[in-house]
Amino acid sequence: MKKIVLMGNPNVGKSVVFSRLTGTQVITSNFPGTTVDYSQGTTCLDKERVFIIDAPGTYSLIPSNPAEEVSSRILNEADLVVNVIDATNLERNLILTLDLISRGIPLLVVLNLWDEAKHTGIEIDVRRLEELLGVPVIPTVAVTGEGIADLASYLYKPIPLPPHESWSDEEKWVRIGHITTEVQTITHRHHTLRDLISDVTIKPVTGIPIAFFVILVSLWAVIFAGESIITYVSDPIFAYYLPLITQVSDWLGPGFIQQILVGELIDGQIDFEQSMGILTTGLFVPFGIVLPYVIVFYILAAILEDSGYLPRLATLTDTFFHRVGMHGYGIVPVFLGLGCNVPGILATRVLETRKQRFIAATLIAISVPCMAKTAMIFGTL
């Protein structure tokens, strides 16, 4: 089966391209002998099944951390490499592109975030870029799916080998400068409301108060929406459930089994909060109290992530996290830990070193209350 490897710098939309190509047929696992995870999936191209691997983000083929080392090892198995590039930062991304060209592997270049480049006033001559690199170049907007069909049509075609060249570090930068000058034009563009919001959320003077406001509003939204779900959804459902479990209690009669399944009767009645039975408190607490808050939290976390605010929050908190031995991106596992410590600790894999992952996991375990604990606190107030 043909193996296609997606490679690119971190945060260029590579995983979104991967999801567009493979759909739901995805397996995520650790690379053998490491704690670095990567995704692999299959898709059908021109009646042929192909194997697609989403390699960890890397800036160079000279590994400086475990993720980059895994990417270099995965590259050795590739029949075709798809290099995903951030069109808004062409110069930085071309370092990896030239490294891949020097390896002499069939290569496709995907100019992702094409809409963002246009929005910021960047115009790229795709045909001229193809001529200078010697490989096919396809502009895409992976989030909307624009250009993905064109990319898929290239994947089953025979791709000629790129011109086998190698350069010193100095020659690479000279060549990259020449390429960007030839193909990229930046035009002046008036700032929009979107640009203004982006600026004020990342500057410390305005960004820190906004961050406090966003966190407070988020907590208020979780409390308000969670309580509303409990009042209008959970409580009515358990009110319908109460007669059924009461009949079960009467049928069982006093004894050990009733104590286990139903629990104590409070003033002769079942109290979902205090009876402490498997079928009473055991169901009511996780599903009636905790679950509503958890659902609201993860919806809110998805909104903040998709809006692009979490990376800005990471920039703002970078100084603080450096004091405890991490960089600003440590806010992401900590924030996820507010929902549940388990995915929060799993998210520490995005951090670069074992030391940072250990610090983040310890911080989450001892000082970040998960939403289940928070919900129980809210529920008793």
Domains annotated for the chain, with CATH where assigned, are 2-186 (3.40.50.300), 199-380 (no CATH)
Q: How far apart are CA 367 and CA 337, in angstroms?
A: 10
pTM of the model: 0.64
Which pLDDT value is given to residue 38? 67
Which residue from 63, 82, 73 is spatially nearest to 12, judged by alpha carbons?
82
Which pLDDT value is given to residue 111? 94
Q: How far apart are CA 38 and CA 24, in angstroms?
A: 15
Q: How far apart are CA 314 and CA 317, in angstroms?
A: 5
Which pLDDT value is given to residue 315? 79
Q: How far apart are CA 227 and CA 221, in angstroms?
A: 10
Whether residue 191 has pLDDT greater than 70: no
Whether residue 29 has pLDDT greater than 50: no
Which pLDDT value is given to residue 32? 47
Which pLDDT value is given to residue 378? 64
For residue 247, give both structure tokens.
């009949």
Using one digit for the tens of pLDDT, what is the confidence trace for 34-73?
Answer: 445 667 888 777 677 888 888 888 888 877 777 777 778 8
Locus of tokens 């992530």: 305
Q: How confident is residue 345, by pLDDT bands cut at 50, 70 and 90?
A: confident
Q: How far apart are CA 79 and CA 106, in angstroms?
A: 7
Q: How far apart are CA 378 and CA 297, in angstroms?
A: 14
Which pLDDT value is given to residue 375? 66
Using one digit for the tens of pLDDT, what is the confidence trace for 193-243?
Answer: 777 777 788 788 888 888 888 888 887 888 888 889 989 999 899 989 988
For residue 222, give both structure tokens.
């979780």
Using one digit for the tens of pLDDT, what is the confidence trace for 9-18?
Answer: 888 888 888 8
**Mean pLDDT across the chain:** 82
Q: How confident is residue 372, by pLDDT bands cut at 50, 70 and 90?
A: low
Q: How far apart are CA 30 and CA 36, in angstroms?
A: 5
Report the percentage of the chain scoring pLDDT > 70.
Answer: 91
Query: Which amino acid is located at 223 in the chain?
Result: I
